[in-house]
Structure 1
Amino acid sequence: MHRKHRSLIPIFTLLLLVACATAPESDVDTPEYHFKAGMRAIDNADYQQAIKSFQRSVDLDKKFALGYGGLGLAHAYLEQNGQAKDYASKCASRGSKDPEALALSGQIWITMRDSEKKWFKRASSHLKKALKRDEAHEGAMYWSGVAHLYNYQFDEAEDYFRKVVNKRGDYAGKADAKWKLAQKIVRAMPGTPAGKKMALKEKINRADLAVLFAEELKIGVLFDRMPVQNTGFQTPGQATQTANVTVPNDAINHWAETWIKDMIRYGIMDIEPDGNFYPDDTINRALYALAVQRLLVVATRDESIETQYFGEAQSRFSDVPSSHFAYNAMALCTERGIMQVDMMTRKFNPAGDVTGADALLIIRELQTSLRMTF
């Protein structure tokens, strides 16, 4: 008698689970449909709506692994890491044989990379399991590339993205953009931890530029090698090396204060008349060209560089008049191959943002121009 009752327990449990599931209200009221709707909301950064869609998917099917993964992803974007990790675990356990679910669990951990120290280990574990299930799984390959990219393993990332692009599937477009970024970073050869982090920035600011000049260009080494002149022309750096550096009001206790002081000491970047440095202001291409010009003047001790292209009747660029305040700097940088123009349109795009990867490439060209070997 007791055996009969025990044998009925799993059946009762199954019936209870089924009873707890929400009944669909239409033909499109399915877990799969709501999951796709949730992912569209994620793409639109509407994370609350995404949570509603993903929750509906698991309400309809308590075993729907992707629904839990979607919930984890939405909470990860909302920086609610505790819930994100719980849902990532549920997604991976319920979808342990599904490479799509395992790849989604990896994506959740990648999204938490700025706040979770072990994000790469956790993401890689899920993604490796996904690829073990299906070595040609496009999503798992793409997110493996993303994981390696954000872990500063640029060669490995490039390899994953290349494979995804060659598959010409749903991820090909996104993978192509990431592949080009990885290729650019590999060419730029960031040589410092700071440079590797900056390489991934979509746009840099004045503080970032100070760090890149100090760390990647090794500006301190450059000026240490320059003999101090007692008479005649002195670089701004030589003129200020014995003086106390005034720290700009808005650079005091700023994360980049040390590097900002270096740039001011060497005369590469200035304090504004109001006493501020504006470290968080975005650097555009025209301002970057001006910074490069200033550095070349200091490094070569040739003040004529700053007026070399003044007075040109015909502008070299289709989108910049020769009267532009940064025209000389732009002409200088393009003439020396330090910065590039669009070959088809001859546009310089002076107001365009400078990405971290582009900033590094410009520094490499600047090093070549200065014949720097250190």
Structure 2
Amino acid sequence: MKNILGNFRNPFHILILFSIILYVPSCALKPASELDTPEYHHKAGMRHVEMGKYSEALTSFQRAIDLDKKFAIAYAGMGIAYANLGEKKKAKKYAGEAEDRAGKDPDVLTLCARVWIDLRHQEKKWFKPAGKLLKKALKRKKNHEGATYYTGELYLYQYEFNQAEDQFRMVVAMKGDYSGKANKMWQMSQKIVRAMPGTSVGKKVALHEKITRADLAVLLAEELKISTLMKRQTTPASGFQTPEEMRAANTSQGGPSDAKGHWAEVWIKELSGYGILEGAPGQPFYPDNPVNRAEYCMAIQRLLSIVTGDASLETRYFGENPSRFQDVPSSHPAYNAMALCSERGIMQADMMTGRFEPGKPVSGADALLSIRSFQNALRITF
């Protein structure tokens, strides 16, 4: 370095040399082909994001940035990927860099807002910055499709379901790139609004794409108020026991073997005590396993049998010929439960295909809506 500087005795020449040294690393890469563009790599990154391939998304977004350091939207993409990888600091850093470069671009501002929405489980104060960015985007371009969609998500994850429904409906009407996603979210919002979750737990579980057995135990206990419901039943529900006598007997033997220490232990013991969900004392409950439609119907069937005092409900539809469902024979172990729920309007087969899809996971919104249908079928009020 000393020899090199020796050749540049003029201070002006030395200044030029250092400027070159500082400038070269910051130069953008030269595209390797006509397809090697920031725009292309950003789109590829967003496709990876939608598929849940966040590490691959980072590679694409980084290539876009390497090709153009001022390409603001790729920084937002980096933030989204890092948010979903659980790296909060990096997500916020890239969201900030994207916003600094965004200018008045509503597309960039919208994706910056998405970073904060995706950070909602890691950052308590996510709502305000996300809302601020979306307002800026909509100010720049009224009825911006992406900003309207993410405003719907903003309301949804804040449990303001009516407002979320309105936003998603608007996006569906736009018939643009977000219409497919918006339609799915609109349908979910409609179900939640109809189900009217009455507890904070119900509102949270309503957003679950797939509920677990623990989730179902909590929903039935809190939204259906199982303990209150069972105390009203003085008719023996099984053998010579009333529901409360059954619960007392089961509780005295301890709860399911895998319930102890689980976050939903109290609710699991309550439900298994009444024999509503499998999990006899000393036997596993499998609290984190997803619930499918057949299992859900079995739980509702058990509830109906206990609440009505009519044990024949658990065998009434076995052996029907032909089966009322296109995809379930009447010999299926859960056929009676599915037929019972269908008959009572609690859970239905697909109207177009006649398929019940017993193995399909149950969403939180569907579970809540079925609970409301159950209450309506029995005219239960609290």
**Fold conserved between structures, TM > 0.5:** yes
Residue 291 of structure 2 is matched in structure 1 by 283
Is 1:46 aligned to 2:31, yes or no? no
Matches within 5 A, 1:1-374: 16=23, 20-227=27-234, 233-241=240-248, 244=252, 246-272=254-280, 275-374=283-382
Partners of 1:150 and 1:69 lie apart in 2 by: 21
The alpha carbon displacement at 1:196 in A equals: 0.8
Aligned amino acid, residue 46 of structure 1: K
Q: 1:17 to 1:235 in 2, by over 3 A?
A: farther
Give 5+ residue unaligned stretches, structure 2. Answer: 1-11
Aligned amino acid, residue 172 of structure 1: S
Partners of 1:17 and 1:111 lie apart in 2 by: 36
**Does the Cα contact within 8 Å between 2:255 and 2:281 map onto a contact in 1?**
no
Q: 1:55 to 1:260 in 2, by over 3 A?
A: same
Aligned amino acid, residue 165 of structure 1: V
Partners of 1:144 and 1:154 lie apart in 2 by: 12
Partners of 2:365 and 2:217 lie apart in 1 by: 15
Partners of 2:30 and 2:330 lie apart in 1 by: 70
Number of aligned pairs? 364
Partners of 1:16 and 1:311 lie apart in 2 by: 80
The alpha carbon displacement at 1:314 in A equals: 2.7
Helix, strand or coil at the partner of 1:352:
coil
Superposition RMSD on alpha carbons, in Å?
2.5
The alpha carbon displacement at 1:52 in A equals: 2.1
Partners of 1:203 and 1:160 lie apart in 2 by: 24
Task: Calculate the TM-score normalised by the size of structure 2.
Answer: 0.88
Deviation per residue, 1:124-161 (Å, 9 max, x gap): 11111111111221111111111211221111111111
Task: Calculate the TM-score normalised by the size of structure 1.
Answer: 0.90
Partners of 2:275 and 2:99 lie apart in 1 by: 55
**Does the Cα contact within 8 Å between 1:233 and 1:301 map onto a contact in 2?**
no
Give 5+ residue unaligned stretches, structure 1. Answer: none
Among all aligned residue pairs of Structure 1 and Structure 2, give the percentage whose two residues are the same amino acid. 56
Deviation per residue, 1:348-371 (Å, 9 max, x gap): 221121111111111011101221
Partners of 2:48 and 2:327 lie apart in 1 by: 38
